[in-house]
Every structure is written in C-alpha cells, then in structure tokens.
Amino acid sequence: MSLLVIGTLALDKVETPYEARDEALGGSATFFCFAASNFHQVGLVGVIGDDFPMGEIAKLEAHGVDTRGVEKAAGKTFRWAGRYEADWNTRTTLDTQLGVFENWMPTVPDEMTNARFVFLANAAPAVQSAALDQCENPEFVMLDTMNLWIDIARDELLALIRRVDGIVLNDEEARMLTGQRNLIKAARAVLALGPKYVILKKGEHGAFLVGKDVHFSLPAYPVDNVVDPTGAGDSFAGGFMGYISAARNTDPLTLKRAMLYGTVTASFCVQGFSVEELVRHDRGRVEARFNELLSITSF
C-alpha cells in the first residue's frame, strides 16, 4: 500500500441556489478517494453506519479503492447539511450529525500501515493522531483540518502539525490558525509551526504552495458552470497526493505539477453534484485539462 487516507464517509444534504439533494454521498475521505484513485491505488480508513448504502462502497472499489479499512458500526452514518449562496463562496452549515463517527477511533489494517504517503483528511485531531500513530515511518504525511478543530482542539492540532510534512488550509482557516490576515504572512506563520510545506487554498482564486525549497502560485481552472462546491478541497488534496504518490517523489517540480493536478481534479468536482463528476472523470480528461491549465498559466 502506497497511499492511505483517514477521514469521513458521509451522507450530505446540499442546497445550492439551483438545486437541493438529500442523502448524497459525501465525506472528506470519499471525495479524496475518487480524486486520488485516478492516479494511484488508495487505501481508505473510515467508519460507516448500518444505514450506509453499500453500493457506494462497491463504487469506491470499482475505482480501485481498497476499502478493507472501512469499519461498519451500529448506528447512523455521519451526516452533514449545508447551503451555498449565489456567490458560491458563502457556505452555511445547517446541521451536523456525527453518528457513528462520534466515538470512533481508527484502526489501520495491517496491510496499510506501511503506506508511504498518508493523507489525514478533516477529522478530530485525536482521530488523525491515532491513525498516524499506526503508520510505520511514512515518507510524506499531509494534514487537513477545519475551523472547528482550530477553535476547540487547538493544542492537539498544534501537536499534530509538528508531526506532518505538509498541511492544506483554506484562507479562512489559515487566518484563524495564525491570527495573520495577510495570506503570505499566514502561510509563513504556519511553516513556523513545523511542517515543511503549506498549501493555501483560495477557492475560485486558486491556491499556493510554500515551503523552504518552493513557492508556487496557481489560479483556479476557469469553471463557468459550478454545480456543487462540496468536496472541492478534498478533491484537490486527492489529485495532489495521488499524483505525488504515483510519482513517489516530493521534489519541487513534482509538487508544482501536483498543484496543477489538484486544481484540475477540484475543477471536475465542482462541476457535478456530490462525487458525480469525479466518478465520471478519467485520466484522459484529467490530462487534457492539465494541459489546458498549463497553457493558460504559462508562456
């Protein structure tokens, strides 16, 4: 096993200005898996309730995701409900039901503990730490988090940040974590917390990567038909980690190319509801859009 993700599998209720859907497949690890599996096989560690539609697990497996680390627990699957405003940038969480995720602690299957690349998708820092504890000397660990954990579990999160190689944050999270409004200053402040690399995501305005040996800034791929932004960040991470894991390399050039693959993968994600477009996309479409993004952003 080369690439491992720990995170949520969820059922989402999503309202956009144009459409509403209930019981849509969601969760940080789910989006990551569909995104990364285009590049490399992924091992998935997470938990579902007894109400989870097993056809979705079959769909993940059909995409080459190793689901042996998905635990089925008695109770309800994690549920999230949210609404997007017409500008797509304003998201309101309407409801969160942790369900079986509430008291879950991850068990990384023996076959997966030797993963070289590990993505700790958004979850409580205690859950992320417990998963990382079970990994044997991974080459590159990337962490995601959210405002909630920065707010209520800051110390645990800071301890975890010191143990990882990279962290992905959106602009709001980076400001909240560091108290710096300017995003360059915020990114430098995050680096001072320990990781070698920070990826700062700015939604429709693109993303940048900073580290001691690299500084790379990239606009978003221009999407003119956003359908549902849910999972865009996890899809970015999936494209990024999937690419570097397949390349088995983290040199600056590989990281820069991975930023493009992450951006392209996220652009597919937002063009469909839930994982619809991620499921549909294939490596050929990814490569075509990669080349298009390259031509838009370079000479």
Residues that bind a copy of itself (CB under 8 A): 86-87, 181-185, 202, 205-206, 208, 215-219, 222-224, 226, 253, 256-257, 295-299
CB of 215 to a copy of itself, least distance (A): 5
Q: 209 CB contacts (<8 Å, ≥6 apart)?
A: 197, 198, 199, 200, 215, 216, 217, 255, 256, 259
Closest CB to a copy of itself among 24 and 293? 293
Structure tokens at 147: 């405002």
Comparing CB distances to a copy of itself, the nearer of 59 and 256 is 256
Of 220, 248, 249, 250, the C-alpha closest to 235 is 220
Looking at beta carbons only, is 105 or 296 nearer to a copy of itself?
A: 296
49 token code pair: 């309730």
Q: Which residue's CB is nearer to a copy of itself, number 194 or number 219?
A: 219
CB of 190 to a copy of itself, least distance (A): 14
Longest dimension (CA), the chain: 56
Nearer to a copy of itself, 64 or 222 (CB): 222
Write down the least CB distance from residue 253 to a copy of itself, Å. Answer: 6
Q: Closer CB to a copy of itself, residue 159 or residue 296?
A: 296
Contacts of range 292-298, beta carbons closer than 8 Å, 24 or more positions apart:
292/221, 293/218, 293/221, 293/260, 293/263, 293/264, 294/260, 296/219, 296/221, 296/222, 297/218, 297/219
The tokens for 78 are 């994690």
Q: How far apart are CA 140 and CA 243, in angstroms?
A: 13
Rounded least distance, CB 222 to a copy of itself, Å: 4
How far are the Cα atoms of 10, 20, 176, 207 from residue 167, in angstroms, in the given order? 22, 32, 14, 13
Structure tokens at 54: 């097993």
Query: Residue 227, exposed/middle/buried by CB under 10 A (0-12, 13-18, 19+)?
Result: middle
Query: Which of residues 58 and 294 has its CB atom nearest to a copy of itself in the complex?
Result: 294
Q: How far is the CB of 271 from a copy of itself (least distance, A)?
A: 12
> Least CB distance from residue 172 to a copy of itself, whole Å?
12
CA distance 297 to 39: 23
Q: How far is the CB of 87 from a copy of itself (least distance, A)?
A: 7
